[in-house]
Amino acid sequence: MAYETLLIEHADGVALIRLNRPKALNALNSELLGELAAALAEIEADDSLGCVVLTGSDRAFAAGADIKEMSDKSYAQMFRMNFFAKAAQAIEGFRKPIIAAVAGYALGGGCELAMLCDFIIAGENAKFGQPEINLGVSPGIGGSQRLTRFVGKSKAMDMVLTARQMDAAEAERSGLVSRVVAVDKLVDEALSAARKIASLSPLAVMVNKEMVNQAYETTLSAGVLFERRLFHSLFAFDDQKEGMAAFIDKRPADFKGS
C-alpha cells in the first residue's frame, strides 16, 4: 500500500516507519493515524519482519495531535470519530516490538505515541512534554497514565499541569527513555537494536514482550507466576531447543519461529 504521510523501508527483518508531515512537525492527523494503523497491520502479517522502528525527523518526532484538524470539532464529532483510538489500539495490540527513535519534539500525542511503543531511544535534542493544558484540554491517549508510570507522580504532575518539557538527559534519568544518543546516530542505533531483536526467535520475542507488559497490569505475585508459566511454555517451541543447542555447540542459533 502507498502512504502519503509515512515513509516505510524494510531491511534485515526490520521495518523503519518515518512520520512524514514535515511542514506540520509531524502533527498527528486522522490520515496519518489511519495510515499508521494500516502499516502496522501489514507488518504484523509479514513473517519476514521481526521488529519496527518508528521515527520522525531531526526536528520533530511529532508535535502532537493536529490542532488545526481538531480545533473546530464538536463533542459529538470527537466521540463519533474516536480520534486516535484505532491507532492506539493498533499499537497496543501489535505483537512485534516497536522502538520509538525520538529526536526533537515529542509533545502531546507525540509523547503519547512514543510511550505506546515498547521502548524509546532519544536523540540528544529530544524534548518530551504534555502541553495540552495550554490549549485548555488534557492528554487523551494515555499520557496522564503512562507518563506517571514512567516518571512518577511528581514529574508527571509538573509536566501535565505546567506544560514543562523534559529534555533527553532528564528523560533518561527519569526512566522515560532507555538511552540517549547523538541525533545523527539515532536511527542507526535504533535499527541496530531492532536488527538484534529481529535475529532472535520471534516466538520468544513475543513472549518476552508480553511478560514485561504484564508488569503494568497485575500484582507482583501474579506477574511472577505469569512469567514462570510462559517460561515453561517456551519449552514447547523448536526455537528453545535450537537456541540452547547452538549455545552448547558454540555456533550461532538458526531460529525458525517454530
Give the residue numbers marked as catalytic: 65, 109, 112, 132
Count of positions on this chain that bind ligand DAK (CB under 6 A): 22
91 near ligand DAK, rule: CB under 6 A: no
> What strand order describes the sheet that includes 127-129?
60-62, 105-107, 127-129, 166-167
Supply 23's cell numbers: 511542514
Work out how close the CB of 143 gets to ligand DAK at its nearest, in angstroms, rounded to a whole number: 8
Neighbour tally for 14: CB within 10 Å: 25
63 near ligand DAK, rule: CB under 6 A: yes
Rank residues 68 and 229 by Cβ distance to ligand DAK and give the closer one: 68
Indicate which single residue of 66, 118, 189, 239 sits in contact with ligand DAK (rule: CB under 6 A): 66
CA distances from 35 to 6, 39, 40, 146, 179 (A): 7, 6, 9, 24, 28
Work out how close the CB of 3 gets to ligand DAK at its nearest, in angstroms, rounded to a whole number: 19
Q: What residue type is 63 in one-letter code?
A: A
Backbone angles phi, psi at 108, to 5 degrees: 55, -125
118 near ligand DAK, rule: CB under 6 A: no
Q: Which residues contact 169 (CB under 8 A, 6 or more apart)?
A: 180
Rounded Cα–Cα distance for residues 46 and 13 (Å): 10
141 near ligand DAK, rule: CB under 6 A: yes
Site for ligand DAK in 21-40 (CB under 6 A): 24-25, 27
H or E segment to which residue 243 belongs: helix 238-249
Stretch that binds ligand DAK, among 91-99, 126-134, 147-155, 218-226 (CB under 6 A): 126-134
Positions touching ligand DAK (CB under 6 A) are 24-25, 27, 63-68, 78, 83-84, 105, 107-109, 131-132, 134-135, 140-141
